[in-house]
Amino acid sequence: MRVKSPILLASAGLLALTACTDPNQFNNPNDPNRNTKQGALLGGLAGAAIGVARGDDPEERRRGAVIGAAIGAGGGALLGQRLDQQEAALRRSLDNDQVVIQNTGDRLIVTLPQDILFATDSATVRADLQSDLRVLAQNLQEYPNSTVRITGHTDNTGAAAYNQSLSQRRADAVAGVLFGSGVSRSRVLTAGRGEDQPISSNLTPEGRAQNRRVEIVITPTA
Protein backbone atom coordinates (compact mmCIF):
# COMPACT_ATOMS: atom_id res chain seq x y z
CA MET A 1 0.00 0.00 0.00
CA ARG A 2 1.33 3.44 -0.85
CA VAL A 3 2.12 5.83 1.97
CA LYS A 4 -0.42 8.40 0.92
CA SER A 5 -3.36 6.01 0.69
CA PRO A 6 -4.38 6.43 4.37
CA ILE A 7 -4.26 10.21 3.97
CA LEU A 8 -6.59 9.99 0.99
CA LEU A 9 -8.83 7.61 2.92
CA ALA A 10 -9.11 9.90 5.91
CA SER A 11 -9.49 12.98 3.75
CA ALA A 12 -12.24 11.40 1.72
CA GLY A 13 -14.02 10.44 4.92
CA LEU A 14 -13.88 13.98 6.24
CA LEU A 15 -15.06 15.45 2.94
CA ALA A 16 -17.91 12.99 2.75
CA LEU A 17 -18.96 13.75 6.32
CA THR A 18 -19.03 17.51 5.79
CA ALA A 19 -20.71 17.19 2.39
CA CYS A 20 -23.49 15.10 3.90
CA THR A 21 -24.08 17.77 6.51
CA ASP A 22 -24.28 20.68 4.05
CA PRO A 23 -22.83 20.41 0.52
CA ASN A 24 -22.71 24.22 0.12
CA GLN A 25 -21.42 25.10 3.58
CA PHE A 26 -18.02 26.43 2.48
CA ASN A 27 -19.51 28.65 -0.23
CA ASN A 28 -22.08 30.44 1.93
CA PRO A 29 -20.62 33.78 3.11
CA ASN A 30 -23.63 34.29 5.43
CA ASP A 31 -22.98 31.12 7.40
CA PRO A 32 -21.67 32.25 10.83
CA ASN A 33 -20.01 28.85 11.31
CA ARG A 34 -18.34 28.70 7.90
CA ASN A 35 -14.83 29.10 9.30
CA THR A 36 -15.49 26.67 12.12
CA LYS A 37 -16.28 24.05 9.50
CA GLN A 38 -13.29 25.00 7.41
CA GLY A 39 -11.10 24.76 10.48
CA ALA A 40 -12.40 21.28 11.20
CA LEU A 41 -11.67 20.16 7.65
CA LEU A 42 -8.18 21.68 7.53
CA GLY A 43 -7.38 20.38 11.00
CA GLY A 44 -8.58 16.94 10.02
CA LEU A 45 -6.41 16.86 6.92
CA ALA A 46 -3.39 18.00 8.91
CA GLY A 47 -4.13 15.45 11.62
CA ALA A 48 -4.40 12.69 9.04
CA ALA A 49 -1.05 13.64 7.56
CA ILE A 50 0.56 13.50 11.01
CA GLY A 51 -1.17 10.29 11.98
CA VAL A 52 -0.10 8.45 8.86
CA ALA A 53 3.54 8.90 9.81
CA ARG A 54 3.14 6.48 12.70
CA GLY A 55 5.10 3.32 11.95
CA ASP A 56 5.80 1.38 8.79
CA ASP A 57 2.92 -1.09 8.96
CA PRO A 58 0.14 -0.18 6.45
CA GLU A 59 -2.62 -1.04 8.92
CA GLU A 60 -0.97 1.07 11.62
CA ARG A 61 -0.69 3.93 9.17
CA ARG A 62 -4.37 3.65 8.33
CA ARG A 63 -5.39 3.71 11.99
CA GLY A 64 -3.03 6.61 12.63
CA ALA A 65 -4.54 8.59 9.75
CA VAL A 66 -8.10 8.08 11.01
CA ILE A 67 -7.22 8.91 14.63
CA GLY A 68 -5.13 11.90 13.58
CA ALA A 69 -7.94 13.17 11.38
CA ALA A 70 -10.44 13.00 14.22
CA ILE A 71 -8.16 14.78 16.68
CA GLY A 72 -7.11 17.37 14.13
CA ALA A 73 -10.70 18.07 13.09
CA GLY A 74 -11.69 18.72 16.69
CA GLY A 75 -8.80 21.10 17.26
CA GLY A 76 -9.34 22.87 13.95
CA ALA A 77 -13.05 23.32 14.68
CA LEU A 78 -12.29 24.91 18.05
CA LEU A 79 -9.83 27.37 16.49
CA GLY A 80 -12.26 28.19 13.69
CA GLN A 81 -15.09 28.70 16.17
CA ARG A 82 -12.93 31.01 18.26
CA LEU A 83 -12.11 33.09 15.20
CA ASP A 84 -15.79 33.31 14.22
CA GLN A 85 -16.66 34.53 17.71
CA GLN A 86 -13.80 37.02 17.84
CA GLU A 87 -14.67 38.41 14.40
CA ALA A 88 -18.33 38.84 15.37
CA ALA A 89 -17.40 40.61 18.61
CA LEU A 90 -14.98 42.93 16.82
CA ARG A 91 -17.53 43.85 14.15
CA ARG A 92 -20.10 44.67 16.84
CA SER A 93 -17.65 46.91 18.70
CA LEU A 94 -16.12 48.83 15.79
CA ASP A 95 -18.03 51.78 14.41
CA ASN A 96 -15.93 52.52 11.33
CA ASP A 97 -16.81 51.15 7.92
CA GLN A 98 -13.33 52.01 6.64
CA VAL A 99 -11.82 49.26 8.78
CA VAL A 100 -11.81 45.97 6.86
CA ILE A 101 -11.95 42.64 8.72
CA GLN A 102 -11.18 39.45 6.80
CA ASN A 103 -11.58 36.01 8.35
CA THR A 104 -9.52 33.50 6.36
CA GLY A 105 -10.48 30.53 8.53
CA ASP A 106 -7.13 30.37 10.33
CA ARG A 107 -6.57 34.07 11.13
CA LEU A 108 -8.17 37.49 11.18
CA ILE A 109 -6.73 40.28 9.03
CA VAL A 110 -7.73 43.77 10.16
CA THR A 111 -6.81 46.46 7.61
CA LEU A 112 -6.81 50.13 8.59
CA PRO A 113 -6.16 52.80 5.95
CA GLN A 114 -3.21 54.89 7.11
CA ASP A 115 -5.10 58.00 6.04
CA ILE A 116 -7.53 57.53 8.96
CA LEU A 117 -4.71 56.98 11.46
CA PHE A 118 -1.96 59.40 10.52
CA ALA A 119 -1.53 62.87 9.17
CA THR A 120 0.55 63.15 6.00
CA ASP A 121 4.19 62.20 6.60
CA SER A 122 3.51 61.52 10.29
CA ALA A 123 4.02 58.38 12.38
CA THR A 124 1.94 59.64 15.31
CA VAL A 125 -1.52 58.09 15.58
CA ARG A 126 -4.08 60.88 15.60
CA ALA A 127 -5.57 61.28 19.08
CA ASP A 128 -9.11 61.51 17.75
CA LEU A 129 -8.75 58.24 15.86
CA GLN A 130 -7.22 56.01 18.53
CA SER A 131 -10.63 54.73 19.64
CA ASP A 132 -10.69 51.99 16.98
CA LEU A 133 -7.33 50.71 18.17
CA ARG A 134 -8.52 50.73 21.79
CA VAL A 135 -11.55 48.69 20.72
CA LEU A 136 -9.20 46.25 19.00
CA ALA A 137 -7.02 46.11 22.11
CA GLN A 138 -10.01 45.21 24.25
CA ASN A 139 -10.96 42.49 21.78
CA LEU A 140 -7.43 41.08 21.88
CA GLN A 141 -7.58 40.93 25.66
CA GLU A 142 -10.92 39.16 25.56
CA TYR A 143 -9.38 36.60 23.20
CA PRO A 144 -5.85 36.27 24.62
CA ASN A 145 -4.76 33.05 22.89
CA SER A 146 -3.34 34.57 19.74
CA THR A 147 -0.31 36.28 18.29
CA VAL A 148 -0.52 39.67 16.57
CA ARG A 149 1.56 40.86 13.62
CA ILE A 150 1.32 44.54 12.68
CA THR A 151 2.65 45.52 9.26
CA GLY A 152 2.87 49.03 7.83
CA HIS A 153 2.61 49.69 4.08
CA THR A 154 2.98 52.82 1.95
CA ASP A 155 2.45 53.85 -1.65
CA ASN A 156 5.43 54.51 -3.93
CA THR A 157 5.49 58.29 -3.52
CA GLY A 158 8.93 59.45 -2.41
CA ALA A 159 12.13 57.53 -1.76
CA ALA A 160 11.83 53.80 -1.13
CA ALA A 161 14.15 53.92 1.90
CA TYR A 162 12.09 56.67 3.48
CA ASN A 163 8.85 54.79 2.85
CA GLN A 164 10.34 51.69 4.46
CA SER A 165 11.27 53.66 7.57
CA LEU A 166 7.89 55.42 7.71
CA SER A 167 5.97 52.15 7.41
CA GLN A 168 7.98 50.63 10.27
CA ARG A 169 7.45 53.67 12.49
CA ARG A 170 3.73 53.61 11.78
CA ALA A 171 3.48 49.90 12.62
CA ASP A 172 5.34 50.61 15.86
CA ALA A 173 3.00 53.52 16.62
CA VAL A 174 -0.07 51.29 16.23
CA ALA A 175 1.55 48.70 18.47
CA GLY A 176 2.24 51.44 21.02
CA VAL A 177 -1.47 52.26 21.26
CA LEU A 178 -2.28 48.58 21.77
CA PHE A 179 0.38 48.30 24.47
CA GLY A 180 -0.97 51.40 26.18
CA SER A 181 -4.41 49.79 26.16
CA GLY A 182 -3.22 46.65 27.92
CA VAL A 183 -2.12 44.24 25.17
CA SER A 184 0.95 42.24 26.18
CA ARG A 185 4.11 43.11 24.28
CA SER A 186 5.04 39.43 24.10
CA ARG A 187 2.13 38.78 21.71
CA VAL A 188 3.00 41.45 19.16
CA LEU A 189 5.48 41.67 16.29
CA THR A 190 5.81 44.69 14.01
CA ALA A 191 7.23 45.12 10.52
CA GLY A 192 7.45 47.77 7.84
CA ARG A 193 7.14 46.77 4.18
CA GLY A 194 7.29 50.25 2.67
CA GLU A 195 6.10 50.24 -0.93
CA ASP A 196 7.02 46.60 -1.62
CA GLN A 197 3.59 44.95 -1.19
CA PRO A 198 0.94 47.06 -2.96
CA ILE A 199 -2.62 45.77 -3.16
CA SER A 200 -3.62 48.23 -5.87
CA SER A 201 -2.08 50.30 -8.64
CA ASN A 202 0.10 53.23 -7.60
CA LEU A 203 -0.84 55.00 -10.85
CA THR A 204 -4.05 56.51 -9.44
CA PRO A 205 -4.82 58.47 -6.25
CA GLU A 206 -7.41 55.83 -5.30
CA GLY A 207 -4.89 53.01 -5.71
CA ARG A 208 -2.22 54.82 -3.72
CA ALA A 209 -4.73 55.42 -0.91
CA GLN A 210 -5.44 51.67 -0.73
CA ASN A 211 -1.73 50.90 -0.56
CA ARG A 212 -1.25 53.22 2.41
CA ARG A 213 -2.44 50.88 5.12
CA VAL A 214 -1.68 49.06 8.35
CA GLU A 215 -2.53 45.36 8.48
CA ILE A 216 -3.02 43.59 11.79
CA VAL A 217 -2.95 39.81 11.49
CA ILE A 218 -4.37 37.90 14.46
CA THR A 219 -3.41 34.23 14.50
CA PRO A 220 -4.91 31.95 17.18
CA THR A 221 -2.64 29.69 19.19
CA ALA A 222 -3.58 26.27 20.49
The chain-wide mean pLDDT, for the chain, equals: 80
What is the pLDDT, as a whole number, of residue 80? 84
pLDDT at 124 over 50: yes
The alpha carbon of 97 is separated from its chain's Cα centroid by a whole number of angstroms, namely 19
The structural domains of the chain, with segments of one domain joined by +, span 34-93, 97-220
Residue 120 pLDDT level (bands cut at 50, 70, 90): confident
Cα separation, 32 vs 211, in Å, equals 30
Mean pLDDT of 84-96: 93
pLDDT digit string, tens, across residues 136-191:
999 999 999 999 999 999 999 999 999 999 999 999 999 999 999 999 999 999 99
What is the pLDDT, as a whole number, of residue 23? 46
pLDDT digit string, tens, across residues 68-84:
444 444 445 678 888 99
3 state SS for 128-178: HHCHHHHHHHHHHHHCCCEEEEEEEECCCCCCHHHHHHHHHHHHHHHHHHH
Task: Please answer whether residues 75 and 62 qualify as being in contact, where contact means their C-beta atoms are separated by less than 8 angstroms.
Answer: no
Listed residue (181, 184, 169) closest to 124, CA to CA: 169
Half-sphere exposure of 138 (CA within 13 A, CB side): 11
Cα separation, 162 vs 128, in Å, equals 26
- Amino acid letter, 25: Q
Fold designation for 97-220: 60s Ribosomal Protein L30; Chain: A; (3.30.1330)
